[in-house]
Amino acid sequence: MNIRSWLVVFVALFILLLGNVSRSSAETESPLEKGMSDTLDIWREGRYEQLFEQLAHRGKTSREMFVRKMRESTIRPVCCWQKMEHFKILNEKRTEATVYVKVGLEGTPGTPESTTREFKLTHQEGVWKMQLADVFSIAGVTGKKRNVTKRHSNKTVLYHN
């Protein structure tokens, strides 16, 4: 065989190998990792109504309040391979799990580039869901109402945010 034939064989084998590697890495993603990754993608894309439905333990937070608070936040997950790094399952039961992962973030200057911590996931409706409190925490917003006092001429008015 000449060099051209060897080169064609080498390139063909390389393409086959590369295809198998990318397929096997996608197949090894756990349902926990996929659920969290999908949730972070929805958040990054700004689809907050859909994000609200993807979250567990929403408490008394209404969809409207959640969407408003998320739109006010400038922090969001980054894309692609930096979105989640070092994903590790610490504890997994039938309906609850705890994972440890580094989540890449972007936003305004001064925003941390990532947060590495434990997250509790809940299995509901056939999917693993992040908790609303965790998303609020990462986004830098709180779920609590704040009382703001403003003075208008001679009156003091109490507002609920």
Kindly report, residue by residue over 55-77, the tens digit of the pLDDT: 998 889 999 999 999 999 999 99
Report the Cα–Cα distance between both ends of the chain, in Å, rounded. Answer: 77
Contact 106, 75 (CB under 8 A): yes
Domain ranges in the chain are 29-160
Q: Do 83 and 105 contact (CB within 8 A), yes or no?
A: no
Strands 96-106 and 84-92: antiparallel
- Contact between 79 and 40 under an 8 Å Cβ cutoff? The reply is no
Those residues whose C-beta lies under 8 Å from the C-beta of residue 61, and which sit 6 or more positions away, are: 132, 143
List the structure tokens of 85. Answer: 């790094």
Alpha-carbon span 97 to 122, nearest angstrom: 6
Question: Which CATH code, of 2.102.10.10, 1.10.10.60, 3.10.450.100, 1.10.357.10, is assigned to 29-160?
Answer: 3.10.450.100
Return the pLDDT at 15. Answer: 75
How far apart (Å, rounded) are the C-alpha atoms in residues 87 and 80? 14
Q: Is this structure's pTM higher than 0.85?
A: no
Please write the tens of the pLDDT for every residue from 9-59: 666 666 766 555 444 444 578 999 999 999 999 999 999 999 999 999 888
At position 97, the amino acid (one-letter code) is: A
The larger pLDDT score, comparing residue 144 to residue 81, is at 81
Question: What is the model's pLDDT at position 145?
Answer: 53
